[in-house]
């Protein structure tokens, strides 16, 4: 039997309208679908009737499918000649442990295709109506996870000193400590936002200053999955949301 292949499909932030055509075609051609926890369940409506669906949930603070087990499943089915589609939330190449999976599959002689998608950081920015790289405010954006593999945190002071927009993933439970650490370098009135379930019908947004964002997020019960955005460019979105709110108030008066 010929060896099959694995396709790492990026499901985007949740809304099926944000899937790429290439992602939809890969899902329709799959024999086996391995689906992450944060992926919209409706994505299975795109599969072929014969395709097997296996949920392999992985979320911080929750019971998770071991990464080694997921990789064994991919190898097993691919070596049986199946087309395995590993569906990941957001973009597969951003904080999705794709590097480990690609290396493992290639070491077993299994071909790997990658389908890019929309990361939640971009979906959060779209919801706020901001450019993460607005040239009046910064020269770039840094996507960073709030905790490293060993449980430690990034050097927030060095990241703050870059002057870049910071898109912080997996940091909702640590937002108070993060904002305090960034506040050692950045002014406390630096614009900030937290967006939960970005790009979905459940999206919630909180905008404030760096000094206030943790308290505001707590008061609005913002929790994981959420993206934290920090930087001058985010102020554009805060201003637009405020103007929109004021306009709605005038219309309802």
Annotated active-site residue in 31, 47, 164, 170 = 170
Given a contact cutoff of 8 angstroms between Cβ atoms, the answer to whether 162 and 142 are in contact is yes
Residue 101 in contact with residue 58, Cβ under 8 Å? no
Q: Which of 25, 41, 39 is nearest to 90 (CA)?
A: 39
Task: Point out the catalytic residue in the list 31, 36, 91, 104.
Answer: 36
Selection from 23, 243, 168, 237 nearest residue 7 by Cα: 23
The answer to whether residue 1 is catalytic is no
Place of tokens 């396709």: 7
Catalytic site residue 74?
A: no
What angle, rounded to 10 degrees, do the helices at 67-79 and 98-107 form?
40
Strand order in the sheet with 32-35: 52-55, 32-35, 83-88, 5-10, 111-115
| Catalytic position from the list 31, 47, 58, 91 | 58
Residue 47, helix vs strand vs coil:
coil
Q: Which DSSP string corresponds to 140-194? A: -EEEEESS-TTS----HHHHHHT--EEEEES-GGGHHHHHHHHTTTS-TT-EEEE
Is 36 a known active-site residue?
yes
Q: Which residues are marked as active site? A: 36, 58, 170
């Amino acid at each position: 039997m010929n060896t099959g292949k694995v396709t790492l499909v990026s499901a985007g932030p949740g809304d099926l309208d944000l899937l790429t055509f290439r992602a939809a075609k890969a899902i329709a051609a799959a024999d086996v679908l391995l689906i992450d926890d944060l992926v919209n369940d409706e994505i299975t409506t795109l599969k072929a009737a014969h395709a097997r669906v296996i949920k392999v949930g992985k979320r911080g603070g929750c019971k998770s499918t071991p990464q080694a087990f997921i990789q064994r499943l991919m190898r097993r089915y691919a070596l049986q000649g199946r087309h395995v589609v590993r569906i990941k939330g957001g973009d597969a190449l951003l904080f999705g442990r794709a590097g480990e999976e690609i290396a493992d599959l290639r070491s077993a002689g299994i071909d790997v295709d990658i389908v890019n998608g929309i990361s939640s950081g971009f979906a959060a920015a779209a919801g706020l109506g901001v450019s993460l790289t607005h040239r009046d405010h910064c020269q770039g954006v840094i996507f960073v996870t709030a905790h490293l593999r060993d449980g430690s945190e990034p050097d927030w002071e060095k990241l703050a000193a870059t002057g870049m927009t910071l898109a912080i993933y997996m940091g909702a439970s640590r937002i108070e400590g993060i904002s305090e650490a960034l506040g050692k370098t950045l002014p406390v009135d630096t614009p900030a936002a937290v967006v939960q379930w970005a790009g979905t019908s459940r999206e919630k947004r909180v905008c404030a200053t760096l000094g206030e964002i943790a308290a505001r997020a707590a008061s609005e019960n913002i929790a994981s999955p959420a993206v934290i955005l920090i930087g001058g460019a985010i102020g554009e979105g805060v201003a637009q949301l405020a103007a929109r709110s004021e306009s709605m108030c005038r219309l309802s008066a």
